[in-house]
A and B are shown apart, each in its own frame.
Chain A
Amino acid sequence: GNSVTQMEGPVTLSEEAFLTINCTYTATGYPSLFWYVQYPGEGLQLLLKATKADDKGSNKGFEATYRKETTSFHLEKGSVQVSDSAVYFCALSDRGGSYIPTFGRGTSLIVHP
């Protein structure tokens, strides 16, 4: 079956620090990969996505590259802000037919001024 493994949180950083949140996956087919962000008290929002190997998704200064050889999709940002404090979920969808995405457990990011 499909699964997504994310690094445990919380990740605590100072403003302007470099961020990496690790995500690895197992999938029976050839999945699309996503990062979603959830701010306190809100629903999830799509942050970025990649649909094939070596694709780089990017948005709001965040980036992630689809690495098929290492089955990874790590999220990075060069300089975090306090407003980036949220929970980040890595997810995959198997384009083979399932409409049910598989989510990682989520990683909480706390950014201090």
Chain B
Amino acid sequence: DAMVIQNPRYQVTQFGKPVTLSCSQTLNHNVMYWYQQKSSQAPKLLFHYYDKDFNNEADTPDNFQSRRPNTSFCFLDIRSPGLGDAAMYLCATSRGGQGNYEQYFGPGTRLTVT
């Protein structure tokens, strides 16, 4: 089945130790998004790619970076995780172009910072 896959599902890292989360998609969608979601809150958009064009949200900390080496893969790098970065990280895709902009989400990666 076509889908959005995130690895790992659970990630534990130490305070200040860089960590990378990965996302892949078989939907061939143009747009990929990274969201941070904390408990009982709506997802908060960190950044998105339309094809290779990177779009950073104004309030996304510099500590968060992203790479999209090809259509299928997208990575979230957290350079120096703090305790406040513990959250669920969600990857999503959408087709882009004129249309409904319906999003397809991965299952998420739960990040714990110790």
Contact = CB atoms under 8 A, between A and B. Distances in A.
B94 to A, nearest CB: 6
B99 A44 contact: no
Interface residues of A, number: 23
A35 to B, nearest CB: 11
Contact of A99 (B4, B31, B107): B31
Nearest to B110: A41
A95 B42 contact: no
Interface stretch (B13-21, B43-51, B68-76): B43-51
Interface in A92-113: 93, 95, 98-101, 103-106, 108
Interface size of B as a range: 20 to 34
Looking at A36, A44, A46, A51, the one whose CB has the most chain B CB atoms below 10 A away is: A44
B100 A99 contact: no
Contacts of B102: 32, 34, 46, 49, 93
Nearest to B9: A41
B8 interface: no
A95 B107 contact: no
Given A44-B90, A99-B96, A89 B42 contact: yes
B48 to A, nearest CB: 7
Contact of B40 (A36, A100, A108): A108
Contacts of A51: 100
Nearest to A32: B100
A93 B95 CA distance: 13
Interface of A: 32, 34, 36, 41-46, 49, 51, 89, 93, 95, 98-101, 103-106, 108
